[in-house]
Amino acid sequence: MTLVWCNRLWALAFALALVSSGMARAEEKIYVVTTLPDLADITARIGGELVTVESLAKGIEDPHGVPIKPSFLPKLNRAQVVVVMGLEYEHSWIPALLSEARNSKIMKGNIGYIDASLKVTPKEVPMDLSRAKGELHPAGNPHFNLDPEGGRLIAQTIAEGLTLNFPQHRATFEANLKAFLAQLDAKIREWKIMAKPLQGVRFVSYHQDFTYFADRFGMEYVGTIELKPGIEPTAAHLVELVQSMKTEGVKVVIREPHFSEKVPSQIAAQVGGQVVKLPIMVGGAPEVKTYFDLIEYNIRELLKAAQAAGVAGKV
Amino acid sequence: MHVGSRALALLVVFALGLGPLAPAVFAQEKASELENLKKQMLQMEEQFQQLQQQIEKLETKKIQEVEAKANAALESSKKTFASQFNPALSLGIDTIGSYKSHRQAFNPGDGTAGTRDAGQPINNTRPAGADFNLRSAELFISADVDPFTRAYATINASADAANNDEAILSVEEAAIVTTRLPYNLTVRGGRFFADFGVLPHRHDHDLPFVDRPPSLATFVGGEAQTNGVEVSWLAPTPFFLRASGTVGNKLGADFRDGVSDVNSRPIKGLTYMGRLQTYFDINDDNNVELGGSIAETPNAEDVTNSGRFERRLVGMDFKYRWYPLGYGVRQSLTVAGELLHDLGEADPVNGGPRRDIFGNAVRQGAWGGYVYAEYRLSKQWRPGVRFDYFQLQSEPLLVTNSFTLQPASTLNATGHRTDNRTWTAYLTWFPSEFQRLRLQYNRSDRGNAQDANEFFLQWTAFLGSHSHGFSERE
Ligand SMILES: [Zn+2]
């Protein structure tokens, strides 16, 4: 009896040793956890071979309301660096996780906590912080990732953050950042030409998330289906929205993947327009696998919708 | 490059190049010259584009510089506000309107000695019939104390019929929590809701229902309040595994915590609690949470019966969630429940102490628990059903089952079944994340008490920085 137990204990110890040595090998790379997939994609570009990156949220989720899963805790507990979008984008879920992760390195205010919004000039900053204005954008609009120039600022901030944490790899991060930005610059030139017909195109979306994108490519935001960021529409609000869409000739309705089809398509039908389903993060559509894919996909799909609705400009 | 600028480029070409050359072109009509002109035009257009790009670049650079300066100024001005050091504040207001068919109380019994519960109201100080009740106006305060600890407090004022509807101010929680201990450890001390089960350490207004499940209200006595010290540990495993141990003076609204100004309390009179919980993602959309808890008081004092006994409360909990991520679906399903076993009270009341054949006092166990299912139809609407069952600790003598000849606790002195069932249906509406209305119906079938129908309408709002902590997650 005792002999059997001894054998079992030895087997268990052996198994544990195997597992832990495997984990140690995996952790030779810098382990970075990001809240959202865009940050993971860009961090992987900056960190290159040096990092293993994991995003907590998936691209199809509602980034403001990611469910607090206990399985996130072991990841945050092991993380050497955490990257958040910032501007209170993840305020309903990341603070609770960080305060329970028992990893003081990545607590807000420490160098392991990289806030990707640091270089961003926020738009739509509320003049007074009242919940009567909605609940999700208290520090201004946090959807700057949809603007490729926002991508530039994110990449620069991540490179600086990684360098601060791992100064011995400064040269690698700088070189990777340079390569990324060169590619981004070329793409932005391409996208600007590609998006020319979108100039002056008026649109509405479900959530107030295309502000930075619209400003970059000269589109005009007319309103949102949501009453305020995070507040579902009332009937009166929808009537008003359709009325203003009719007077302003709005034919394009953007629907983000985490909102249901019903209301956007009803509204589009009422104004004789088009619904276009656009991801707001990497992974939000099956084809969108990288940050570059995200911007390009959104421009392409908007062009299609604008052309189908007959509101695309002539180049 | 805009349409306008291209036209401009053409104009420039015409003015500078084509104009003077025009006669020659028309005279000779040479294709090669036309080609040359075309090339020139293209070159000039390209130069124009480059110039424009440079201008744009310079402009954005300038704007960025200005913005950076403005940001820096803004940041520094923010930091000088003294309010930066103020703690986070939030206030929860929880109002309940209700109609109850009658006040629930234990049946009077036959008047024999020891029928302690006879005629007593159950878990409730609110009147029967129509009622409005500000159940709680609860202030929550939290902040970092220093780089090593944070602290929080919950101050509650609730109006109670038993107190002429005057609000009683109480400190529900006030605790200090470490933030930087090594080895994944956290220590919490003060008054707090002990880490026992799932819903016992939720505040009333954070429950998924209007009322606390009757089994928890009976076994734990409302919120799992204790005064003591807790050590918790997050296992460094690839999956979630968390353990905690607590020493406190009591668990919940336990009037038998043995505090008396006459007798000293032995160390065994404290309550020792432990909890282990884990979580698994079955896949992206389905997950399961499991937990086990124990609260042991080796030598508790029953003030009412002036006796000492060992009390052991054991709990098991589970939660299954189907939460499909994205793709336009905002629906989810939660099925969760807790099962409790309360072993204690060597000195049951109805019929006097129970003794074994050697004359020693026999402890008596009671089972209880609840299970609920809630379906989220949309961001705003959540209907649910709940079933709750519990046995009473202060149960009458065991009777012999005439078929099995085994002792069982089924009947009391008045012939009623002594187990208690409550069927519940509810519907919650969230106009926003910070406001909630809930309609609930309870059908209570209580073994040795009157049955009752109860209707509730609850309206709850949160002001300020109400953010759900990890243990209050959905
Ligand atoms: Zn948003």
**Residue B454, SS3 per DSSP:** strand
- Name which of B86, B127, B132, B78 is nearest B103 in CA terms: B127
CA A281 from chain centre, in angstroms, equals: 4
User: Distance between CA atoms of B462 and B155, rounded to whole angstroms?
Assistant: 14
Is the CB of B234 inside 8 Å of chain A's CB atoms? yes
Of A58, A61, A121, the CB nearest to B71: A121
- In terms of Cα–Cα distance, which of B393, B133, B119 is closest to B255? B393
Choose, out of A102, A188, A225, A315, the residue to mutate when testing the contact with B (most B CBs < 10 Å). Answer: A102
Percentage with pLDDT > 70 across chain A: 88
Worst-scoring range by mean pLDDT, A35-49, B246-260, B383-397? B246-260
Domain boundaries, chain B: 3-75, 96-464
Distance from CA of B191 to the nearest CA of A (A): 19
**H or E stretch at B44:** helix B31-79
Q: What is the pLDDT of residue B411?
A: 45
Across the interface, of A71, A96, A101, the residue whose CB is closest to B473 is A96
All residues of chain A having their beta carbon less than 8 Å from the beta carbon of residue B186 are 102
Chain A interface includes B330 (CB < 8 A): yes
Question: Percentage of residues in chain B with pLDDT exceeding 90?
Answer: 31
Nearest residue on chain B to A233, judged by CA atoms? Answer: B431
More confident residue, B391 or B59: B391
Rounded CA separation A231/A229 (Å): 6
Q: What is the pLDDT confidence band of residue B13, given thresholds at 50, 70 and 90?
A: very low
Cβ separation A232–B379 shorter than 8 A? yes
CATH 3.40.1160.10, applies to B96-464: no
- A60 lies within 8 A of chain B by CB: yes
Minimum-distance CB partner of A102 among B234, B240, B321: B234
Write down the pTM of the prediction: 0.79
Question: Taking CB atoms and an 8 Å cut-off, how many pairs form between chains A and B?
Answer: 108
B238 part of contact set with chain A, CB < 8 Å: yes
B201: CB partners within 8 A, 6+ apart: B193, B194, B195, B223, B224, B471
Gap between the Cα atoms of A132 and A229, Å rounded: 11
Question: Which among B234, B378, B467 has the least Cβ separation from residue A95?
Answer: B467
Percent of chain B with pLDDT over 70: 63
pLDDT at B76 > cutoff 90: no
Give the residues across from B355 on adjacent strands. B361
List all residues of chain B from 168 to 187 with a beta carbon under 8 Å from chain A.
Answer: 179-181, 184-186
CA B58 to each of CA A213, B53, B62, B399: distance values in angstroms, whole numbers, following the listed order: 21, 9, 6, 93
CA of A62 to the centre of ligand 1 (A): 9
Give tens-digit pLDDT for B133-173. Answer: 888 888 999 888 888 999 999 998 876 656 666 777 889 99
Contact B420, B411 (CB under 8 A): no
Burial B203-239 (b: 16+ CB within 10 A, else e): bbbbbbbbbbbbbbbbbbbbbbbbbbbbbbbbbeeee
Sheet holding A202-205, edge to edge: A220-224, A202-205, A252-255, A274-277
Cα gap A170→A166, rounded to integer Å: 7
What's the gap in Å between the CA of B474 and the closest CA on chain A? Answer: 8
3-state secondary structure string across B415-452: CCECEEEEEEEEEEEEEECCEEEEEEEEEEEECCECCE
Band (pLDDT 50/70/90 cuts) for residue A100 is: very high
B280/A contact by beta carbon, under 8 A: yes
Q: Cα separation of A196 and A295, whole Å?
A: 14
Q: What is the pLDDT of residue B35?
A: 78
Cα dihedral across residues A80, A84, A86, A91: positive or negative: negative
Domain annotation for chain A: domains and CATH numbers: 28-191 (3.40.50.1980), 195-309 (3.40.50.1980)
Residues of B in contact with A232 (CB under 8 A): 378-380
Given pLDDT bands bounded at 50, 70 and 90, which one contains residue A40? very high
What ipTM is given for this predicted complex?
0.82
**Cβ pair A50, A81 in contact under 8 A:** no
Interface contact flag, B328 A231, Cβ < 8 Å: no
Question: Cβ contacts (< 8 Å) between A91 and chain B: which residues?
Answer: 467
Write out pLDDT tens, residues B204-251: 888 999 999 988 988 887 788 899 999 999 999 999 999 999 999 888
> What does the DSSP assignment read for B361-378?
B--EEEEEEEEEEEEE-S
Q: In the predicted model, what is the mean pLDDT of residues B451-462?
A: 90
Cβ(B265)–Cβ(B278) under 8 Å?
no
pLDDT value at B116 more than 60: no
User: Backbone dihedral region of A13: left (phi > 0), alpha (psi from -120 to 50 degrees) or beta?
Assistant: alpha
Which residue, among B342, B227, B337, B222, has the nearest Cα to B291 in the 3D structure? B337
Instruction: Report yes or no: B56 at the A interface, CB cutoff 8 Å.
Output: no
Q: What is the mean pLDDT of residues B51-62?
A: 69
Length of chain B: 474
Instruction: State in Å: Cα B439 to ligand 1 middle.
Output: 30
Whether residue B85 lies within 8 A of chain A, CB to CB, comes out as no
Closest-CA distance of chain B to residue A4, Å = 27
Sheet containing A30-34: order of strands: A51-55, A30-34, A81-84, A113-115
| Average pLDDT of the residues in B101-105 | 70
Among all residues of chain A, which has the CA nearest to that of B3? Answer: A315
Tell me which chain A residues have a C-beta less than 8 angstroms from the C-beta of B327: 60, 257-258
A314 at B interface, C-beta within 8 A:
yes
Q: Please tell me the distance between residue A175's alpha carbon and the centre of ligand 1 in angstroms.
A: 33
CB contact under 8 A, A61 and B326: yes
Contact: B469, A99; criterion CB under 8 Å: yes
Contact A76, A33 (CB under 8 A): yes
The mean pLDDT value for B62-81 works out to: 58
Taking CB atoms and an 8 Å limit, are A260 and B328 in contact across chains? Answer: yes
* Weakest mean pLDDT among A178-192, A245-259, B26-40: B26-40
What secondary structure letter does DSSP report for A231? B
Closest CA to A155 of A251, A44, A70: A44
Instruction: Give the 3-state secondary structure of residue A43.
Output: helix
CA-based torsion, A160, A166, A170, A175: positive or negative = negative
Q: Which of residues 73-132 of A touch B (CB under 8 A)?
A: 73-74, 77-78, 91-92, 95-97, 99-102, 104, 107, 119, 121, 131
